[in-house]
Amino acid sequence: MSNKIIGGLYRQTMDKRKDAVKSFSGMSDEEIEAIYSMTSLSRDLADRMIENVIGAIQVPVGVATNFVINGEEKLIPMAIEEPSVVAAASNAARMARPHGGFHAQATRPIMIGQVQVVGVQDPYAAAQRVLSESQKILEICNSTNPTLVKVGGGAIDLDTRVIETIRGKMVLVELEVDCRDAMGANTVNTMAETIAPLIESLTGGRVRLRIITNLAVKRLARSWAIFDREMLGGEDVVEGILDAYAFAEADPYRCTTHNKGIMNGITAVALATGNDTRAIEAGAHSYAARDGRYRSLTKYSKDSNGNLVGSIELPIAAGILGGATSTHPAAKAAIRLLQVKTAQELAGIMASVGLAQNLAALRALAAEGINKGHMKLHARNLAMLAGATPDILDEVLKRLGSEHRVTYDKVAEIVKEIKSIRNS
């Protein structure tokens, strides 16, 4: 395990944090500035990314600490507007450290492309005619992207299905494409479009849609960790977390929020690294309902010492090449900070963050409730607004103590009082 432990970032100024992150990761000045400057998305670049651009909206990028993933210390860039998420992930990661941190892995990065064929006279026979030409179809697919084949990816298999719809039977041809380090949508869509004429001649039907599916069941990321019983707050909290997990498994209303908490972490890393957050979200929720009932993406049990064992499995179609991951300077810097060499590594990290995020939420809900942490941050923000300087911030928060309702007026009064005592 690397010994480059980095802690206490939350107590430092932003400038100091930048220096700590830079020296931890070995990023160059230019790379760290791409995030720190908050101006790396130029007008010109933005105008080339989407249409009718009139500006950009900024979202803070925080760094989650304490993560040990597959024996390596990691700092995790997270882009998110919601307070407490980064702190919660860091806190959960701390509780996994004594037991070796997170153990992550990901399957081959295989995406599925669907070709929809309608108006087929003999759908079952047609599906078999397609299968018997699999080799030729895959060769045509691969001719569209020789570079991908050269690096070990490409179309590797195909399957067919006949589905019943409100407009009659349809034949589906489903391509499996190893997208290596790209998310893969462009590659897969191009392949699906290129084979359409051949599919029409084999089936005698009409090809309609040719598109990737975001239910990426062949591109799964997994992670597990043991969370320390005492650090969690003892046996009762562990039992409370297991009850919370059982609640989510049994009830879709709770489970939606439970999985939303998981996606707080995963989407934040996806956004920071320039990935397609909607594709990952859609795939995750659909995967959670794959057996007809909406379930938790995480699982929990107790080990023989009463520690909590958590695991997660979901599709994560995230890349480190192509799209915004390659064009947005801040996204490139975030990938650099993660020190990942493959999309699979990134997916494993994202799964670990999702697990940590979920554990943190369940722990807070089962113990003190979710509001305490939120109130602390809220109080901190109000104190800054009321003019508290870093040297008096801790004292302001201490004086507020465990107030349940923190108002701006109350905070401002305390700030004023402390300042006048210090100045007298």
Decide: is 258 part of the binding site for ligand MEV (CB under 6 A): yes
Using CB under 6 A, which of the segments 35-43, 172-180, 253-261, 394-402 binds ligand MEV?
253-261
Burial class (CB in 10 A: 0-12, 13-18, 19+), 284: buried
Q: Of the candidates 58, 147, 257, 389, which one interacts with ligand MEV according to CB under 6 A? A: 257
For the question of residue 99 being annotated catalytic, the response is: no
The values of phi and psi at residue 405, to 5°, are -115, 110
Output the CA torsion 325→282→312→290 (10° steps): -150
Q: Of the candidates 282, 370, 384, 397, which one interacts with ligand MEV according to CB under 6 A? A: 370
Decide: is 240 part of the binding site for ligand MEV (CB under 6 A): no
For the question of residue 394 being annotated catalytic, the response is: no
Q: 3-class SS at 194?
A: helix
Q: 3-class SS at 299?
A: strand
Q: 3-class SS at 66?
A: strand
Instruction: Round to whole Å and give the CA distance between 18 and 43.
Output: 25
- Residues numbered 82-121 forming contacts with ligand MEV, rule: CB under 6 A: 82
What does the block give as tokens for 318?
């995230």
For the question of residue 328 being annotated catalytic, the response is: no
Pick 244 or 318: Cβ nearer ligand MEV: 244
For the question of residue 374 being annotated catalytic, the response is: yes
Pick 191 or 361: Cβ nearer ligand MEV: 361
Using CB under 6 A, which of the segments 63-71, 112-120, 144-152, 259-267 binds ligand MEV?
259-267
Pick 127 or 271: Cβ nearer ligand MEV: 271
Give me the least distance between CB of 76 and ligand MEV, in Å please.
17
Instruction: Round to whole Å and give the CA distance between 351 and 380.
Output: 30
Pick 258 or 332: Cβ nearer ligand MEV: 258
Q: Of the candidates 108, 218, 260, 299, which one interacts with ligand MEV according to CB under 6 A? A: 260
DSSP one-letter string for 336-398? HHHT-SSHHHHHHHHHHHHHHHHHHHHHHHHTT-THHHHHHHHHHHHHHHTT--HHHHHHHHH
Decide: is 373 part of the binding site for ligand MEV (CB under 6 A): no
Point out which residues pair with 313 in neighbouring strands. 222
Q: Which of 31, 181, 276, 345 is catalytic?
A: 276
Pick 248 or 331: Cβ nearer ligand MEV: 248
Give me the least distance between CB of 264 and ligand MEV, in Å please.
5
Vertex 33: Cα angle to 29 and 39 (nearest 5): 155
Catalytic residues, by residue number, are: 82, 260, 276, 374
